[in-house]
Amino acid sequence: MIYDSIIETIGNTPLIRLNRLNRGIKGDVLVKVEYFNPGNSVKDRMAIKMLEDAEKEGAIKPGGTIIEGTSGNTGMGLALAAISKGYKCIFTMADKQSKEKIDILKAVGAEVIVCPTNVAPDDPRSYYSVAKKLNQDIPNSFYPNQYDNLSNWKAHYETTGPEIWRDTGGKITHFAAGVGTGGTMTGTSRFLKEKNNKVVAVGIDTYGSVFKKYKETGIFDEDEIYPYLTEGIGEDILPKNVDFDMIDHFEKVTDKDAAVMTRRLSREEGLFVGWSCGSAVHGALEYAKVNLKEGDLMVILLPDHGTRYLGKVYNDDWMRNHGFLEDKSFGTARDIISSRQGLYELVVVKKDSKVNEAIALMNGKSVSQIPVVENGQVIGSVTDNKLLHKIIENPNLKDSEVADVMEDSMKFVAMDSTLDVLSSMVDKEKAVLVRDENHQIHIITKHDILAAMTR
């Protein structure tokens, strides 16, 4: 078949049966491999839909500029569409995204602006805010806003869902996919449930994201938000494309489990896929082990290709440095926490406590540094060395509030960070903090690291 442009090849991606990773699971497990799209990801579908809908509405005119905040894949889809239609592209990305994603977008002619990850969504430095500001400043520009643009989920309602229904002969019983902007899950699930309201939709979330708790409680809990490494799933906001009524259950997956499963998909199934694909498969199989029965048919959507992650999950040194390889010569933060005996209680001081109280607490608990908290959130720290110098200079500070003397917060690190990574992060005076899977916060000091190295 001859196509007039690359964008005509989007869609109709294959379903492939898992043969090894699904051992011991009842029912059948298929994966929908979206890297067969021309931009190597599921995002091609909604990118072209958002752009064509914008053209119909007059939101962009010939010669215009597409501006979008992206983790990389949506940008690629938009860039391919822009080449076919004669538009320019500017993309903002968080600095946790892989270098490969940035390089690929530049290769197809896009301008890429890298923004900090660990800032609030409404911070002017965030990749959301920078994209919005550029859209305001550049004439004839279009900001698709994949998070809240409902053309996102409609693309999957019109294409992904119908393809799965057709290719399974209507026998699908479970659909699983990672949830980020929400368009893939919402649109696909909506179509499948309209065909058969017994189809179960399993959303895959990551630790550090708000989705699972919000689905289960209706509470947007900021305590659920903390840095994570996995790209493309999870959010610290509630995009309009996430329709929680279309998602029956959420499974959370750690960065490590996702990375390890990504490599297993390549080595055991021949599927060279991206990091969030590992999240989707790990979470879906954990659900399937308990819930699938004979005769069931689960489809797991694999959103992108492994070329985006050559410097990360497919790099042994990167995996080892993050504690994601089983290398016994490297202990981890998890090992340090597991070695602590008895009940653990993090010693903290409140922002509005008196400095005298903080000193008494440090003396009573024999600790040299304490996190400062406000409404359950870590907002700063107090260390005995810095505090001593401040009080020598101004003895009256003893009666002041801790907020007047506190320093920057200790850094949060991943549970599976290795000892060499931890030691490089612990400076001369600061410890680091770790949040476990139960959201309990632990402190790790230089003493902890030295003790672990000599065990």
CB neighbour burial string for 407-419, b if at least 16 within 10 angstroms, e if fewer: eebbebbbbbbbb
Q: Which amino acid is at 304?
A: D
**DSSP-based three-state secondary structure for 230:** coil
Residues 6+ apart with CB under 8 A from 381: 369, 370, 371, 372, 406, 407, 408, 409, 410, 430
Measured distance CA(309)–CA(240) in Å, rounded: 28
Distances (CA, A) of 375 to 50, 221, 222, 275, 412: 40, 12, 11, 34, 18
Measured distance CA(406)–CA(428) in Å, rounded: 17
Measured distance CA(417)–CA(335) in Å, rounded: 10
Residues 6+ apart with CB under 8 A from 256: 322, 323, 324, 414, 415, 416
Tokens of 201: 């939709």
> What would the DSSP string read from start to end of 126-137?
SHHHHHHHHHHH
Kindly name the residue from 26, 32, 43, 386 that is annotated as catalytic: 43
Of 70, 127, 60, the closest CA to residue 102 belongs to: 70
Measured distance CA(134)–CA(382) in Å, rounded: 39
Measured distance CA(116)–CA(129) in Å, rounded: 11
Tokens of 342: 């008895």
177 in Cβ contact with 188 (< 8 Å): yes
255 in Cβ contact with 229 (< 8 Å): yes
DSSP label at 341?
-
Known active-site residue 43: yes
Measured distance CA(317)–CA(310) in Å, rounded: 11
Tokens of 290: 């308990």
Torsions phi, psi of 327, nearest 5?
-110, 110
Tell me which residues are annotated as active site: 43
